Amino acid sequence: MSELNKKDSGRLEPSRIYRLESLLDYVPGSIVSRTLVKNQAGTVTLFTFDAGQALSEHLAPYDAMVQVLDGQAELTIGGKPVTVHTGETIIMPANIPHAVHSEQRSKILLIMIRE
């Protein structure tokens, strides 16, 4: 049985147990995202990055928590590189330029809470 709710556009059903890393597959040569929660308080988005994929430097108006569920990701936050591995979490501060590069396949959970 699929863990995806076919009637909803990617959002998770309340009161169910999920293994986040199984909710989104890798796609060769691509970055794939799925919004799991979206409301006025913020968003929770799951990403898969195939090896060599990247998000260019950008800003976000809110702090963001990044948790690596599988693999590793190279983040640049305010010009400083940091590598985040499976099971590790980092906070990216609001209004500080950041970018993501994945030398190997990775699955990342991004949580943004609005103030």
Mean pLDDT per 10-residue segment, the chain (115 residues) = 44 90 95 93 95 95 95 97 98 96 96 88
Domain locations in the chain as residue ranges? 20-113
Which residues, in sequence order, are bridge partners of residue 74? 83, 101
Rg over alpha carbons for the chain, rounded to the nearest Å, is 14
**Structure confidence at residue 101 (pLDDT):** 97
Contact yes or no for 54/37 (Cβ under 8 A): no
Contact yes or no for 44/111 (Cβ under 8 A): yes
Which one of 1.10.150.310, 2.40.50.140, 2.60.120.10, 3.40.50.920 gives the CATH number of domain 20-113?
2.60.120.10
Q: Exposed, middle or buried, 101 (CB in 10 Å: 0-12/13-18/19+)?
A: middle
pTM: 0.86
Average pLDDT, the chain: 90
- Residue spans of alpha helices (H) in 8-114: none
Those residues with Cβ within 8 angstroms of residue 95's Cβ, 6 or more apart along the chain or in another chain = 59, 60, 61
Cα of first residue to Cα of last residue in the chain, in angstroms, is 37
**Structure confidence at residue 1 (pLDDT):** 31
